[in-house]
């Protein structure tokens, strides 16, 4: 039997940390460049791109681009719209898709496998192919509000939320995770007289932290980065999300410093959400190779 020398293990560990640090720096560099560029005037910003000064807080540093960005566009409103739409959609999607996956895995009903196949088949359908039909439907759908019955969902929050609550990818993630849960827990709960909803709420979902984090991150990124659909259904500034609001900075006088400031502001919610779910996300990745 060969015994590894302690020095060799230490050297391998050092090399591993060096490699991981370099990989982390590669991913961090764009963020550092974005933040540093947002603090510089346009002329200095373009000049510094030819050297490492682009990643350093040197030269004429100020928050002027951030103030100018708020003057050019209602940045706070755009960020609120995106966070509100994305947050509501993620919460509703996790609830609806997890319940659908629970029925596919633990309940026996006629046509279950066919329905699951149809749902998974939607993953290969590009959104662009259904955007126009969906737009026509949304423009004629009724809605009951405090003002009475109205027709059309355009220029509202609901037209950005409801069409994306259920999706095949989220259902698939929950189905695959639920299949690996021990059936003995479900059977024991049924013997004790627990209803299916009690099993779902008190047993299955508390054990599903990793898949909830994974599905939430993927859904958050997809919704927060939406551009085509909001551009089609929202013409009023009141309901525009951050990606559509980016157009304000490419009209008339283009200011790259203001663009970088705007990108820095709209990136903060994404980073905060990811850091909040980081531990659960890592656990979900690690659990993909664990069976039984």
pLDDT 10s digits, 197-226: 999 999 999 888 888 988 998 999 999 999
Sign of CA dihedral 98, 99, 101, 107: positive
Mean pLDDT of 131-158: 87
The CA-atom distances, in angstroms, between 165 and each of 68, 98, 179, 193, 273 are 36, 11, 22, 32, 19
**Separation between Cα atoms, residue 211 and residue 171, nearest integer Å:** 11
Residues 88, 91, 94: CA angle, nearest 5 degrees = 145
* Of 234, 265, 272, residue with least CA distance to 249: 265
Buried b / exposed e along 193-205 (16+ C-beta atoms within 10 A): ebebeebbeebbb
Q: Is the pLDDT score of 87 beyond 60? A: yes
pLDDT in tens, 8-41: 777 888 888 888 888 888 888 888 899 999 999 9
Predicted pLDDT at 164: 94
The reported pLDDT for the residue numbered 59 is: 85
**56: confidence class by pLDDT, cuts 50, 70, 90:** confident
Res. 291 pLDDT band, cuts 50 70 90? very low
The token pair that represents 253 in the structure block: 């006088």
Of the candidate ranges 11-25, 101-115, 150-164, 276-290, the one whose mean pLDDT is the lowest = 276-290
Give the per-residue pLDDT at 159: 94
Residue 131: partners with Cβ closer than 8 Å, 6 or more residues away: 228, 229, 232
- 55-64 long-range Cβ contacts below 8 angstroms, 24+ apart: 55/29, 63/39, 64/257
Do 39 and 61 touch, CB atoms closer than 8 A?
Answer: yes
Q: Say how far apart CA 139 and CA 130 lie, in whole Å.
A: 14
Helices (H), the chain: 6-38, 42-48, 64-72, 75-106, 112-121, 127-138, 158-161, 168-179, 183-191, 196-199, 209-224, 228-233, 242-245, 256-276, 278-287
Q: How confident is the model at residue 246 (pLDDT cuts 50, 70, 90)?
A: confident
For the cut 70, the answer to whether the pLDDT of residue 128 exceeds it is yes
Q: What percent of the chain has pLDDT over 90?
A: 39
pLDDT at 79 over 50: yes
Residue 253 has pLDDT above 80, yes or no: no
Residue 140 DSSP class: T
Superfamily in which the 75-242+265-287 domain is placed by CATH = MetI-like (1.10.3720.10)
Note the pLDDT of residue 289: 45
pLDDT of 6 reads: 58
Please name which of 104, 68, 110 lies closest in space to residue 196, comparing C-alpha atoms: 104
- The reported pLDDT for the residue numbered 161 is 95
**What is the 8-class DSSP label of residue 145?**
E
| Cβ contact 93:166 at 8 Å | yes
Contact indicator for 284, 217 with CB cutoff of 8 Å: no
**Chain mean pLDDT for the chain:** 86
pLDDT of residue 281: 59
Q: Which tokens in the block code for residue 31? A: 């963020």
Q: Does the pLDDT at position 255 exceed 80?
A: yes
Query: Buried (b) or exposed (e) across 78-104, using 16+ Cβ within 10 A?
Result: bbebbbebbbbbbebbbeebbbbbbbb
Q: Where are the domains of the chain?
A: 75-242+265-287
Q: Contact 263/78 with Cβ under 8 angstroms?
A: no
pLDDT at res. 280: 59
pLDDT in tens, 279-289: 655 655 555 44
Q: Could you tell me which residue, 161 or 209, shows the higher pLDDT?
A: 161
């Amino acid at each position: 039997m060969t015994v590894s020398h302690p020095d060799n293990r230490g050297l391998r560990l050092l090399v591993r940390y060096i490699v991981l640090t370099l990989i982390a720096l590669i991913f961090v560099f764009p963020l550092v460049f974005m933040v540093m560029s947002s603090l510089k005037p346009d002329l200095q910003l373009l000049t510094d791109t030819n050297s490492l000064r682009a990643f350093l807080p040197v030269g004429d540093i100020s928050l002027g681009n951030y103030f100018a960005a708020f003057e050019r566009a209602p940045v706070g409103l755009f960020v609120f719209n995106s966070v509100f739409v994305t947050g509501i959609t993620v919460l509703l999607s996790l609830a609806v898709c997890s319940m659908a996956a629970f029925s596919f895995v633990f309940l026996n009903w006629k046509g279950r496998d066919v329905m699951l196949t149809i749902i998974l088949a939607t993953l290969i359908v590009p959104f662009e192919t259904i955007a126009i039909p969906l737009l026509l439907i949304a423009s004629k759908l009724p809605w009951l509000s405090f003002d009475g019955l109205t027709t059309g969902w355009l220029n509202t929050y609901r037209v950005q939320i409801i069409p994306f609550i259920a999706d095949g990818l989220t259902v698939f993630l929950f189905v695959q995770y639920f299949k690996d849960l021990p059936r003995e827990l479900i059977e024991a709960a049924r013997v004790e007289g627990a209803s299916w909803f009690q099993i779902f709420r008190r047993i299955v979902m508390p054990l599903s932290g990793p898949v909830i984090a994974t599905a939430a991150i993927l859904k958050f990124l997809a919704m927060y980065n939406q551009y085509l659909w909001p551009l089609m259904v929202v013409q009023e500034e009141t309901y525009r999300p951050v990606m559509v609001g980016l157009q304000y900075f490419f009209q008339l006088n283009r200011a790259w410093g203001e663009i970088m400031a705007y990108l820095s502001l709209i990136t903060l919610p994404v980073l905060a959400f990811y850091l909040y779910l980081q531990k659960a996300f890592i656990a979900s990745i690690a659990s993909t190779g664990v069976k039984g």
